[in-house]
Structure 1
Amino acid sequence: MAKDIDSIFFDITPKIEELALKCEQNNAIDKELYTKYEVKRGLRDLNGKGVLAGLTNISDVCAFKMVDGKQVPCKGNLYYRGYNIKDLVKGFLAAHHPGFEETAYLLLFGELPDKVQLKEFQEMIAERRMLPPNFVRDVIMKAPSRDMMNSITRSILQLYSYDDKADDTSIPNVLRQCLNLISQFPMLMVYGYHAYNYKRGEDLYIYAPQPELSTAENILMMLRENRKYTKLEAKILDMALVLHMDHGGGNNSTFTTHVVTSSGTDTYSTIAAAMASLKGPKHGGANVKVTQMFEDMKAALTDWSDKDQIRQYLIDLLDKKVFDRKGLIYGMGHAVYSISDPRADIFKRFVKQLAKEKGHEAEYALYETVEHMAPEVIGEKRKMYKGVNANVDFYSGLVYSMLDLPPALYTPIFATARIVGWSAHRLEELKNVDKIIRPAYKPLAPYRDYINLDDR
């Protein structure tokens, strides 16, 4: 009798359990060997400093300053093409115009646009906000996914089939492809979300983007059934896109972009690989984890203002007793920053304003308490090699929830911003490096003689 297909593909059978145990046993490596052979796990040393793997002009993540020839931790700063992110945000907010398109121009072309250049670039992005004929029906609606990152990734790979020059890696062609993807990302994200909701029995509405609207405004307009949004909502979402646009060449998804680009493959495969990296809960998916953690915390606390209860919950988190039992306080700590994450600092000012307008002061106060208390609790429970601070994911989930954005789109919004950085880094890799990236791994398994099947 034939086995049921579901049991073959989706059930973890006793035999798979047995083989999985064999996998674990034969793949385990003594942690002491990493120290013995001076392996930089995560390509970082104990102080969090990354192994130098490349050069970039695109952005700089600054967490230290030199004092008397020594590195001393300082408040974090992020630079896009040499411009401090705080100055960039301050500039477009003061000018009362969206920052996404202006900052995208800066990252791609290396300089801030003048009024004519900005207008031309905005028009270029607007005219590319389209998908191939019947793409929504044939690709996005065909097999909706509950995970929007996977849905977008599949759509990106399908776009390869519609591009007659998909494998051309010349700079002009890759720039064309990148501009297309930057423009198309909001639609791939929002339409994928609506398609999945339709599959679950909800109403379907697919709105075309409007050329006169910014990227942030189009996202909100296409997402909501009534197409309405406030100026404050659009301003904060636009700022979030700018803050997430790039973060140095060494973050996981951008390094993935460099690695995959170095193999000589096409743009669609490269961006799909970067998407797979960003999806992970230790990278772009962290903002969802922060939100889920706080929902669990709020349910567990009888009084959100009781600092003793909050402290105990954080201790239980680290002791793997609550939430997902991973022993992590999500949103706290960063691979580079040790004192402060400038993106979180910028976000925090607007979170407070938004919380007041939306009536979420108590929730904001809880976040603020955890932000101040968590580093102290972590320091008491674990050996720390560098400082721990709130990162951008700590507040971004709260911002998105107050903007009434669905949690399923938190990480895709990150991707909608980061596609600009990935594009810039892909172009930089293609221009400057002609070697495939291939770091070394030290083999530990002893050599063995082959044993014939009958003798095993």
Structure 2
Amino acid sequence: MKRISQIAPEVIELSEKCIKNNNIDPALYKKYDVKRGLRDINGNGVLTGLTEISEICSSKIVDGKEVSCDGELYYRGYNINDIVSGLNGRRYGFEETAYLLLFGELPSSENLHSFLSLLSEYRKLPTSFVRDIILKAPSSDMMNTLQRSVLTLYAYDKKANDTSIPNVLRQCLQLIALFPLFSVYGYQAYNHYYSGNSLFIHQPVANYSTAENILHCLRPDGKFTATESKILDIALILHAEHGGGNNSTFTTHVVSSSGTDTYSVVAASLGSLKGPKHGGANIKVVEMFENIKENIKNWNDEGEVRDYLSKMLDGEVFDKSGLIYGMGHAVYSISDPRANIFRSFVKKLSLEKGCDEEYTLYSMIERLAPEVISEKRKIYKGVSANVDFYSGFVYKMLGLPTELFTPIFAIARIAGWSAHRLEELINAGKIIRPSYKNVCERKDYIDIENR
């Protein structure tokens, strides 16, 4: 019997036929005014729904004209800058942010205490779940482990198909609480069975925040600094939500609109986030910087750095894709507010970790890349660093393995997905069904003897 991953010669031959008979003339997309990617030429998304959960602003109306502006991000009407600064450097804010996204209002101290207690209670996995589900079938891809764990929870839930709001909220809260454990335990299994390292499973600490528990469960000694846990908490806040139109959140709306169960919806959203064009982008940024550091002799030489970035855009170096990863965004033009917030915390962590020279290189490339891109490309809006530009660097300094970079994104974004799933169900919209125009000519049927 052939292994499942082997591609038979017959399949390779059939794939050539598949490619040949599925090529659509690119000119037809313009002819029929198809908004590829559900976006127009300026990058504006096609309006497909309404939401109160978050808002992304990249332009303003001045004297009757739309002009680009510094990016702004609002959670339930509150500016993300105010949410982060409102923590005053003392509180952990991801759980507070999750409460805001889910329930539409900032929690009081009493509300927050009750919410934290609820999440702590839901942080308990079913008996033998780690042994039977995570340890017995380790995967080299933690997003696969996350999906599998989420879908397996269906079998443990006696009300898995109940889409009433109280039940869906209960399921969402459990997933918010359990995502860190699925991710970290999945990595520990992989690290043991694939890499031969010691296996250890730490239980979460009841009064720890999500960020603290991630670091506690990941590290052999369970220890971390206040700066480390704080910047990871900020990362979770910044990744928790980003409008209803991003690929994974739109997937949440699309699949929820069919009336299916919560576990199927979240598994589908995880599949979307796993893609390198979405949640996996920060890994590409780290890989790109490793390549840059290896090939640039003097990190302080702007001319040498600029030349290498130019070669990167020309597809001559790194992965030859012609891209500078971490630069540009589908919506933001002048700036990504998440990157702006992250920058100051990144600088502080880089000093603590002795990575200040590397931070200086990041800052230089953040400044030079937009200039090089504007010289080489025809662009319709500004280009600036996005949140992925710095997040991979942060995770690397925190000692997080690259296998967990995208799961960390998911650990944060499950809060936003949950809010959008509830919004979709509460507003009872129609099943989402966009239109595709057929451009294949009609043909007369041919009997099998005459083919």
Please give the TM-score of this superposition, normalised by the length of structure 1.
0.97
What is the aligned residue count?
450
Q: Determine the C-alpha separation between the residues in 2 that align with 1:254 and 1:204.
A: 34
SS of 1:444 mapped into structure 2: coil
Q: Determine the C-alpha separation between the residues in 1 that align with 2:216 and 2:377.
A: 46
1:433 has 2:424 as partner: no
1:131 has 2:125 as partner: yes
Cα shift at 1:10: 2.6
1:196 has 2:193 as partner: no
Cα shift at 1:245: 0.3
Q: Determine the C-alpha separation between the residues in 2 that align with 1:409 and 1:367.
A: 22
1:161 has 2:155 as partner: yes
Cα shift at 1:452: 1.0
Gaps in structure 1 of 5+ consecutive residues: none
Query: Out of 2, 6, 9, which is 1:5 matched to?
Result: 2
Query: Out of 75, 82, 95, which is 1:101 matched to?
Result: 95
Q: Single out whichever of 340-349 and 324-333 deviates more from structure 2.
A: 324-333
State the match for 1:248 in structure 2: 243
Query: Out of 134, 137, 144, which is 1:140 matched to?
Result: 134
Q: How does 1:2-401 map to 2 (within 5 A)?
A: 5-6=2-3, 9-94=4-89, 96-200=90-194, 201-401=196-396
SS of 1:111 mapped into structure 2: coil
Cα shift at 1:409: 0.6
SS of 1:399 mapped into structure 2: helix
Cα shift at 1:11: 3.2
SS of 1:421 mapped into structure 2: helix
1:447 has 2:442 as partner: yes
Cα shift at 1:362: 1.3
SS of 1:93 mapped into structure 2: coil
SS of 1:56 mapped into structure 2: coil
Q: Determine the C-alpha separation between the residues in 1 that align with 2:115 and 2:81.
A: 23
Q: Single out whichever of 367-376 and 104-113 deviates more from structure 2.
A: 367-376
SS of 1:32 mapped into structure 2: helix
Runs in 1 of length 4+ with deviation above 6 angstroms? none
Cα shift at 1:312: 2.2
Please give the TM-score of this superposition, normalised by the length of structure 2.
0.98
Tell me the amino acid that sits aligned with residue 144 of structure 1: P
Q: Determine the C-alpha separation between the residues in 2 that align with 1:88 and 1:436.
A: 34
Cα shift at 1:13: 4.3
Cα shift at 1:161: 0.6
TM-superposition CA deviations, 1:64-83 (whole Å, max 9, x none)? 11112221100000000000
- RMSD over aligned Cα atoms: 1.1
Q: Determine the C-alpha separation between the residues in 1 that align with 2:334 and 2:55.
A: 16
SS of 1:60 mapped into structure 2: strand
TM-superposition CA deviations, 1:143-201 (whole Å, max 9, x none)? 11111011111100001110000011110100000000000011001100001111031
Q: Determine the C-alpha separation between the residues in 2 that align with 1:348 and 1:398.
A: 11
Q: Determine the C-alpha separation between the residues in 2 that align with 1:20 and 1:309.
A: 43
Q: Determine the C-alpha separation between the residues in 2 that align with 1:327 and 1:142.
A: 41
- Identity percentage of aligned residues: 63
SS of 1:5 mapped into structure 2: coil
Tell me the amino acid that sits aligned with residue 122 of structure 2: R
Cα shift at 1:253: 0.3
Q: Single out whichever of 379-388 and 256-265 deviates more from structure 2.
A: 379-388
Q: Single out whichever of 371-380 and 162-171 deviates more from structure 2.
A: 371-380
